[in-house]
């Protein structure tokens, strides 16, 4: 009886896993076979990379890759540089207005920039930044999530370490750089991975704020390509879809453990 239930549970877990990878397997099948085999399953069908070649030539994907890379790195670097001192001040310093300002910061966890398309578009228009990579990045640079995450970890740094560095004559920024930042390294990696995957995949705001090849990130480029240029050539669409997701997917498969641990670390408060 007990063995029977257990086998049933294992079967269920495997069935669910199968259902979960099926869409992806289907896409991989279509992308690596000639269009004739897109809906026709034959294990002996010849493999081909032609769909990827066609997709790469049909749209400026190289430029889209460059745009996304610039966007993601810009956001990551500025988020680190801005959130670190803010998180430190909120964690370890006493000043009037601290709790009120921190409350205002946390508000962003619930009301994210993604929802404020209309207001932010107006600001970008006033700044003359519409259709620029900077405009895609700007709303996400001051990140409540980053400040919150780093503040939590900075609060856990033993006060004695801070005091010792102070006695040795370290300045405020010196202590932040030499004591706090090194101890928070795993959190930086976790936050970095979350930030990279979020902005690599972000779509609606970039769709609204960009309208040219030189600024569009991959996601928007893919949507434009799949909706207008291709009609229903599924082989090319799935190939381009896999191509745009590949860097993150490959990175995930290589660093699975770190990714999973990072997401866990980012989520646990």
Restricted to residues 18-47, the positions that interact with other proteins (CB under 8 A) are 18, 20-24, 26-27, 30, 38-39
262: CB partners within 8 A, 6+ apart: 189, 190, 193, 194
Contact letters for other proteins, residues 42-71 (x by CB under 8 A):
------------------------------
Q: Is 105 in the site for other proteins (CB under 8 A)?
A: yes
- Map tokens 């890759």 to a residue: 65
Q: Is 123 in the site for other proteins (CB under 8 A)?
A: yes
Q: Of 8, 49, 115, 164, which lies in the binding site for other proteins, with binding defined by CB under 8 A? A: 115
The encoded tokens of residue 166 equal 């102070």
Select the span of 46-54, 55-63, 111-119, 179-187 touching other proteins (CB under 8 A): 111-119
194: CB partners within 8 A, 6+ apart: 145, 262, 263, 266
Q: Of 67, 139, 191, 215, which lies in the binding site for other proteins, with binding defined by CB under 8 A? A: 139
Site for other proteins in 218-247 (CB under 8 A): 218-219, 222-223, 226-227, 232, 234, 237-238, 241-242, 244-245
Give Cα 223 to chain centroid, integer Å. Answer: 18
Q: Of 178, 197, 255, 258, which lies in the binding site for other proteins, with binding defined by CB under 8 A? A: 197
CA distance to 57, 61, 210, per residue, from 108 (Å):
41, 33, 24
CB 68 within 8 A of CB 198: no
Measured CA to CA, the distance from residue 139 to residue 141 in angstroms comes to: 6
Contact letters for other proteins, residues 144-163 (x by CB under 8 A):
x--x----------------
Question: SS3 for 33?
Answer: strand
């Amino acid at each position: 009886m007990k063995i029977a239930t257990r086998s049933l549970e294992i079967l269920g877990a495997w069935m669910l896993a199968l259902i979960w990878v099926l869409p992806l397997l289907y896409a991989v099948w279509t992308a690596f076979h000639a269009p004739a085999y897109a809906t026709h399953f034959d294990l002996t069908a010849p493999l081909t990379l032609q769909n990827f070649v066609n997709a790469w030539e049909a749209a400026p994907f190289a430029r889209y890759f460059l745009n996304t890379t610039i966007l993601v790195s810009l956001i990551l670097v500025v988020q680190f540089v801005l959130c670190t001192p803010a998180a430190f001040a909120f964690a370890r310093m006493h000043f009037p207005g601290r709790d009120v300002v921190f409350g205002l910061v946390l508000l962003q966890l619930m009301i994210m920039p993604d929802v404020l398309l209309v207001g932010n578009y107006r600001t970008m228009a006033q700044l003359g930044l519409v259709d620029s990579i900077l405009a895609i990045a700007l709303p996400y640079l001051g990140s409540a999530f980053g400040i919150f995450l780093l503040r939590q970890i900075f609060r856990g740094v033993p006060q004695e370490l801070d005091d010792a560095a102070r006695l040795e004559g370290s300045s405020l920024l010196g202590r932040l750089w030499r004591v706090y930042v090194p101890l928070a390294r795993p959190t930086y990696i976790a936050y970095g991975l979350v930030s990279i995957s979020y902005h690599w995949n972000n779509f609606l705001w970039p769709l609204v704020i960009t309208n040219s090849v030189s600024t569009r990130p991959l996601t928007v480029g893919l949507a434009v390509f799949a909706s207008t240029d291709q009609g229903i050539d599924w082989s090319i669409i799935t190939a381009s879809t896999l191509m745009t997701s590949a860097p993150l997917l490959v990175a995930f498969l290589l660093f699975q453990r770190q990714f999973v641990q990072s997401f866990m670390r980012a989520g646990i408060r």
